[in-house]
A = this chain, B = another copy of it.
Amino acid sequence: MHRVELEKPDGRKLYLYSREPIAKGIQATNPPHEPVIGHSHLRWHPLRGEWVAYASHRQNRTFLPPKEYSPLAVTKSADFPTELPAGKYDVAVFENLFPSMSLSATVAPELAVPTQPGIGSCEVVVFTQDPDTSLGALSLDQVYLVMQVWAERTREIGKQEKIQYVLPFENRGVEVGVTLHHPHGQIYSYPFIPPVVERMQEMQTQHFKKTGEVLLASLRKEEEKAGERMIVSGKHTSAFLPICARYPYETWIAPKRSVPYLYDLSNEELLDFARVLKTTLMKFDRLWNKPFPYLMALYQAPTDGKAHPESHVHLEFFPPYRTKERLKFLAGTELAAGMFVNDSLPEEKAKELRDVQVEDFS
C-alpha cells in the first residue's frame, strides 16, 4: 500500500492510497464553500446515562446533489473543484467538511447538565474513483486495499491521546439515509467508549474472565459447528447470521484468529477477510438482484492504551429490509424499550443467503 498525505486549501487533511506508487505533485482540492463556523459540543443525558452530540453547523450540509456536482467525484476542471483531486490513486480519505466531532473542538456551553467540547474526528473514506459502483463490486484487490485503509486509519487515529474509540462504518442506500451515492464509508472517532461498545466490552470481558475464551471466537466456532446459519466459510474468516440476530439479514464477518484490531491480522488473513466480505456483499446484491442497503460497522477494541485480550475484530451488517419489499422499522419496542423483535428466524434467512450463487472471482 502506498500513501500520500496532503492538505486541502481549507486546511483539512487528505490521504491518498494506492497499490502503485503515487506520482508526486497531486494538489489537494476542495469544493468552494462558506466557512464552516462552530464546533459541536456534547451534553450528558442524565436519564439514559449517555453523551449526545450537538452539531448545528451540520444543518445545511450537501444533500443528494445532482450527479455532476458530487463532492466525491474526481475533480475534472479547476473551475469546479471537488473533495478529490485528479490523479492516479485508488482510495482517498479526507476530513468531513461538516464533522459531528473535531479534534480542534475546545468550547462547550455551561449548562444544567455536564458538557464537553465535541472532540473526535469524522473522516470520509472514498472506496474508488468510480462513482457508479459499490464496495462489493470492486475487485478483490480494491476491497483488500479499503480494508488496509481501515486498518491504517484505526492505528493512526487511535494514537491520538484524546481518542478512546475508532469506528469505521458504511451507510449504504437511501433507506438508511445516504446523502451521496458515490461509494464511500466513514470513520468516526470518539473521546470515550460509546455506550453500545462499552456494553460489548463488558460482556466480552465477563466471558473472558469466566471461561478464558474470547466471546466472539466461541460464537464463531459454534456457528461453524452448527452450520445452519453460515453464509461463507473462508480459510481464515467466517460470515454468518448470528444465532441472536436482531435484524432479519443481520450478518457478521469475523476472522478465525482472535485479534483486537484489523491491523493485527496478517496479510494473508486480511486478504481472506476481504474475499469473504466481497462474497457476502455480492450475495446481498444478488439476493433480489437489486442493491442491498445496509449499515456496516467494523468493531474493534477501544484505543484506550490498554490490552484487550477479550476483543475480537469483526464486521456487523444491519440491513433494513426484512423481505424484498418490506423494511424493518425500528419502532416502539426497539427504540423505546431496547428489545428487538425479529419476524424471521436467523436459520431461514441464512439459508437464503447461503443459497445465493455468486461467480468465482478469486
Interface set of A (CB-CB < 8 Å, partner B): 40, 43-56, 58-59, 63, 100, 111-113, 165, 167, 169-171, 176-177, 186, 188, 190, 194-197, 199-200, 202-204, 207, 215-216, 219, 222, 226, 242-246, 295, 297, 299, 316, 318, 322-323, 326-333, 335-345, 348
The reply to whether B112 and A342 form a contact with Cβ atoms under 8 Å apart is no
The reply to whether B341 and A196 form a contact with Cβ atoms under 8 Å apart is no
The reply to whether B337 and A196 form a contact with Cβ atoms under 8 Å apart is yes
What is the CB-to-nearest-CB distance from A352 to chain B, in angstroms, rounded to a whole number? Answer: 13
Task: Known contacts A167-B336, A190-B337, A329-B176; decide if A345 and B47 are in contact (CB<8 Å).
Answer: no
What is the CB-to-nearest-CB distance from A171 to chain B, in angstroms, rounded to a whole number? Answer: 4
The reply to whether A52 and B342 form a contact with Cβ atoms under 8 Å apart is yes
Task: Known contacts A297-B332, A333-B188; decide if A47 and B342 are in contact (CB<8 Å).
Answer: no
What is the CB-to-nearest-CB distance from A228 to chain B, in angstroms, rounded to a whole number? Answer: 11
What is the CB-to-nearest-CB distance from A96 to chain B, in angstroms, rounded to a whole number? Answer: 11
Residues in B with CB closer than 8 Å to A226 are 112
The reply to whether A337 and B188 form a contact with Cβ atoms under 8 Å apart is yes
Task: Known contacts A56-B344, A176-B329, A295-B332; decide if A194 and B337 are in contact (CB<8 Å).
Answer: yes
The complex places the Cα of A167 from the Cα of B48 at a distance, in Å, of 17
The complex places the Cα of A49 from the Cα of B201 at a distance, in Å, of 10
Give the one of A51, A204, A207, A342 with max B CB within 10 A.
Answer: A342
The reply to whether B167 and A333 form a contact with Cβ atoms under 8 Å apart is yes
The complex places the Cα of A105 from the Cα of B35 at a distance, in Å, of 59
The reply to whether B194 and A295 form a contact with Cβ atoms under 8 Å apart is no
Residues in B with CB closer than 8 Å to A50 are 338-340
9 interchain residue pairs of minimum CB distance: A177-B329, A297-B336, A196-B338, A195-B338, A194-B337, A169-B332, A45-B244, A100-B341, A58-B343
What is the CB-to-nearest-CB distance from A330 to chain B, in angstroms, rounded to a whole number? Answer: 7
Residues in B with CB closer than 8 Å to A338 are 50, 194-197, 199
The reply to whether A345 and B196 form a contact with Cβ atoms under 8 Å apart is no
The reply to whether B199 and A48 form a contact with Cβ atoms under 8 Å apart is yes
Residues in B with CB closer than 8 Å to A339 are 50-53, 190, 194-195
The reply to whether A222 and B112 form a contact with Cβ atoms under 8 Å apart is yes
Task: Known contacts A197-B338, A336-B167, A337-B190; decide if A45 and B344 are in contact (CB<8 Å).
Answer: no
Residues in B with CB closer than 8 Å to A297 are 332, 336-337
Residues in B with CB closer than 8 Å to A299 are 336
10 CB-based A-B contacts, threshold 8 Å: A48-B203, A55-B342, A56-B344, A100-B341, A113-B244, A167-B332, A169-B336, A177-B328, A197-B337, A297-B337
